[in-house]
Structure 1
Amino acid sequence: MQRQGSQVPTELSVPASGDGLVTDVLAALSASGAVGDVLQGCAEAVVRRLDAAFARIWVLNEADQVLELRASAGLYTHLDGGHSRVPVGELKIGRIARDARPHLTNDVVNDPQVSDPVWAQREGMVAFAGYPLLVGRRVVGVVGLFARHVLAAESLSMLAEVAAAIAAAIERIRVQERLRAEHAVLVALHRVGVALTSAQFDLRQMVQTVTDAATELSGAAFGAFFYTAVADSGESSVLYTVSGASRDDFAAFGLPLDSPLFQSTLSGRGVVRLDDVTTDPRYGQASPYHGMPPGHLSVRSYLAVPVMGRDGVALGGLFFGHSEPGVFTDEAELAVSAIAQHAAMAIENARLYQRERDVALTLQRSLLPDHLPELATVALAARYLPAAEQAEVGGDWYDALVLPDGRLGLSVGDVVGHDIHAAATMGQLRSALRACMLQRFDAPEVVECLEQFMTATGLKEFTTLAYAVFDSHDRSLQVVRAGHPPPLLLGADGSARYLHGGATPPLGLGLIELDALNTASITVTLEPGTTVLFFTDGLVERRRWTLDQGMTALIAAVGTVEPGDPEALCEAVLAALHGHGHDDTVLLAMTVR
């Protein structure tokens, strides 16, 4: 046996056969690909140029202090078996790594470091050379070869040079892999952030986004997000999403909430990362299965990260599994923990939004009429729906009131803004409008009265209004619009057209005068079976639509409904157009009997 710094005895030396070895190895190291593929090219070059029986390269797993076989060429090409994972300090390969010194011999059969001399003699092995792969003084792996001939000093010198090049390449590849992994984490976190922003306040969509991203980033075979949901009644329940598997894979087993492992995470006691969950003392403690139920997806590697709220209370937990042991790394744990922080903020924001939205909706609905007049001459229907994409409630309203002279006043309005202030302003204007309706009977006078109220009280919120008065005696409808979309007139024969007249500037700008209102107002006569549909702009406005496209879509939607039923009309219109808008929507429909 020879040590580093010594020479191989001359009587054992033979001429070097390694011409081109360094060149071939450098060529293999310059190739692109995974570290295993690159090292395989190096091992094949060693076998080819040094006429070795076989050559192998191990890379050190620093966390486990184990040498992992990454390349094997020549007589043996498999990467499994007894030498696939060699602990540092065990066998000659492990001792080379421990001592950071080469092991060289041209008498394999009689070398006490060779663990199986019978095999060596049977296979005709003569020489062995093993070099630590060093970056400075740090070991990153081992390269070793067996040969059926004596290895010359020049061959060993070239092998030492090659070992240095392989070590530098392993370090370079590791740095590149770390950079790629870090970049992947940053990209995934950015993707999660963007997705959570896009999902806004849809809790189910958010937790699914988090589960998918964390499962992919951790390298898990499958993952799940268990989280607490609170119903309107105040009762809480545990829900879950899955990724990398079907919900059907877990449906038969129930929720493992009593498992000590699950409780450790759901109670917020910290991250649990296990190379083999079946060896943990907490495993198998929960009934009725006391371990993995029959038919459950195989789990050896286990990672669980709590999702913690600002108050230190767990909102849920992210759980990941893999059928192979030792899959989850420090980097995976850090990445999932970062995603869990994103998830916690998003969940808390969604819950805060929902509470505030419920308050605003309650306020707004309390300001709208709780019922519509029931009349023999007309049928009325109305709807109010908040925006699908807004965190706040707007200032849309509708109203219908029988006037002192027996006519019917109809109003649909919209105060600009999406907050409680807009809803409160709407309440003021609706009440003021009712007072004006009871004092002045013609539509232009009522709208002028409301403008005067806003001026007198200092209300300057931009407000649109469609106000109409229907007289059942002659079936006349007088309409005035202050910056509001035109109502849609639906004939008993299924025809549809907009009442485009009657337009003036919006309220709140100080631009409305009675003469202009009188000039702009229009009056039409409605035949029995005719329906008039008033609406706010949230029904027909979309980010990717022009207003004309929205108005055309409304015409198409009403064409699917039998004429004469205002309730069915409202339902069909909302089904066709509501749900993708960014504004509140109000409908008020009147059908002449």
Structure 2
Amino acid sequence: MPSHLSADRPAAQPHAHGPVDALVSQARRLKGEVDAVRRGTPADETDPRERWRRALYDLALHQLEDLGQHLAQLRDDPPPGPGPDPVAPAVPRHDRLPGRVGSAEWNLLTDEVSWSGELYRILGRDPAAPPLTLDELPSLVLDEDRPRLTSMVTGALVDARPIDGEFRVVRPGDGVRTVHMRGEPVLGADGSTTSMWAVLRDVSELRRCRRAVSETRDSLRRRRHAAARTERRLAVELQEAVLPPWPGSLRLPHAGARNLDLSAARLPPSTDAPIGGDWYDALGLSDGTTLLSAGDLTGHGVGAASGMAMLLGAVRAMAMTGTEPGPMLACLNRLLDTAVQPALSSAVCLRYRPETRSLVWAQAGHPAPLLFRGGTGRALDAPRGVLLGATSGASYGQAEELLEAGDLLLLHTDGLVPGHAGGTAVHRLLGLAPRFAGARTAQDCVRAVIREFGEGEREDNACVLVARVTA
């Protein structure tokens, strides 16, 4: 194996200094550019993101400084002479090592120890004192790091393993420093270890910068998690304020004798996913009709919840003025088209007239209502309608359906099953027809839906509304 001359005098020196000079210049220029960017970065210690960025700049500067020093060492050392005897390697030159890098050699045949001047400074030793033997070296090391150093040295001397590890030393008047040690044993002709060389670097500042990067990254991550929790809580509170849970069947005050038995529920995601913009609504109007609606605004968090509240408020306002479902969706489309924050939404709106049991409805890219009658179910044939906010000036068709006493309507949003598999959700909902037929109330039907979908893995929010035509 090569002697530690590779630390002070490279074993393979380039024939010309030109390429190395160019690399040194590039390293210095890059360091200057990074330093200029760092100095131009706002030093806002209250902002975790800014602290993280400055810590990364500091780390990059230290690494570039190390790179420049290593390249300068490669450039400045003279070409080696004839190769040394592997049994008795020559004493290295120690006066050309760059700052914070030192070298040492321990000759096991002669008990001679050789340290570079920089190594004395790294380890905080008096240059006039003799260099420490391998047995004495652990005396400089912190107690908890001594077993690591002993293991590295033993592995090199006994098993001829390279050394590559770190330990901490206590320097008088300078506190604890972190030292990185790399070395190899030198084998004699008979395969036995004759000496060991090592290069040691003071990496304290580099490790400090890395710790700063890690700590600021962790702080930033904690703040992001806290902000996400706060946003989710606000979104949940906003959603609950707009869509209060129905503990039982809801009877609308303005409905006539042929009333609707209504119940609805929100199904939260099975993970900590942010709250989405799903909604449901039932509004009894002064003319005796009932407006039913459901929708899903794109996005998550407070923005989606507030956008959902805006749409739902617009739906209720237009319903009270007598606007029919098709024109209502056209107005909602214009509302989203002119919004400051672009968004898309699906929606379905139904107006039920109890005196004729007629249902007029329209949809905007939303799953069609499901009609259950006589123990079977089907999806209503959907009129034309694109997603709200997708196309300016879109118009929306209407369809009419005559209901019978005992019929059951079910509205739902995507998200009941993973991946927004609407076809799968509809198939499973239609499979609940026998249970719906045996249910006494709309609330019983909602409970059946929750039992079917509420316990599985779900990545998004979902809403379900059931309206049952009473006799």
TM-score, normalised on structure 2? 0.49
Higher relative contact order (CA 8 A, sep 6+): 2
TM-score, normalised on structure 1? 0.40
